[in-house]
Amino acid sequence: MKFRPFLAGTALVAGAVGVSAPGPAVAAPSHPAGEVSAAASPLYVAPNGKDSATGTESDPTTLTSAITRVTAGGTIYLRGGTYDYAQTVTIAPGNNGTASARKKLSAYPGETPVLNFSAMSENSANRGLAVNGSYWHVYGLTVQRAGDNGIFVGGSNNIIERTVTRFNRDSGLQISRIASDTPKDQWPANNLILSSESHDNADSDGEDADGFAAKLTSGPGNVFRYTVSHNNIDDGWDLYTKSDTGPIGAVTIEDSLSYGNGTLSDGSQAGNGDRNGYKLGGEDIKVNHVIQRNIAYDNGKHGFTYNRNLGTMTITNNVSIDNEERNYSFDGGTSVFRNNVSCRSSKGSNDRITGDADSSNQFWSGSNGSRCSAYTGALKWSFASDGRLVVTFGGKTVTP
């Protein structure tokens, strides 16, 4: 992790640790490489839309209707406002775009649609938005107060961008298989979670509601980039594996920030929460995740923990500061550590590292290292206009 000047013309840093940053500003959706603009007219959705409406700007339809009507390469625009639901909004398996013509579900430029599921009870069946199709691009939505995950991704090759998942009763955004009989070669793979925020997700026992999760039954190639997870009741990220389903696919987490997990924004806690910044495994199963250029700050347990992942993970260019127990906790495996920085574990616990760690790292051993003085004062963050995460410590700008 290096300090380097941020490019001119980007957004100012707005969020502060302990206070939720504003939701991502919504600009016109970009077209990722290989994606083409829709030839068909967009469908428009509004809180007062009707299923039978034509879907024009002057005659908006509903989200559930538009999802079944949009064609490959087409766009659904959601106007700003609150959409109240009591049941899961589902993009069904087989409702797919293509690699060159994704289906888009996007906030109308300059507006913020909020999908609100507060009518739901806490139940594992009560997800908010379920993206079970493939080759979709979801952009600029806030999803809140679902009875389980806010956004559930069961399909593959999707982009989830500039979303906020908050106040849900399980992990804010989770990637896992759709059903218990989904074969392993159909587990959700190659999804990109981009420039998104997840915070204040909490279940009743405090044990399962993480910010982001790719766990239990997720396939290979899933990536979290420029993402922020904070003040969730359990972990910031959870990549848990279990023996009865075997290893998940390797996950990449990069250029991201995890802070304050284990304590909600209102200061409340739950005794069963693990409270880690980045929890990277489970049950002695080997998965070779890539964890690079991330920040863990002020989490209620460890900053980065292997959590019994005995694989060979790539742990590079990360910074871990002021976490309650250890900034880095790796008691097994053969992971490779390069250019990581550790500062001020709150209880003074020395880091535990097992694997290949050379002199490029600075791990905590009970004293301030030469690089720790740079990380003082308030931590602030925002998403820049191009989607990158911008973080400052003590007035110095960090681009993870």
Q: Tokens standing for 88?
A: 């899961």
List the catalytic residues.
279
In contact, 196 and 173? CB cutoff 8 Å: yes
Q: What residue type is 345 in one-letter code?
A: S
- Tell me how far apart the alpha carbons of residues 62 and 296 are, in angstroms, rounded to a whole number: 40
Choose among 134, 55, 127, 62: nearest CA to 91: 134
- Tell me how far apart the alpha carbons of residues 62 and 259 are, in angstroms, rounded to a whole number: 36
Residues contacting 372, CB < 8 A, separation 6+: 321, 341, 343, 344, 362
Please provide the distance, in angstroms rounded to a whole number, between the alpha carbons at the two ends of the chain: 6
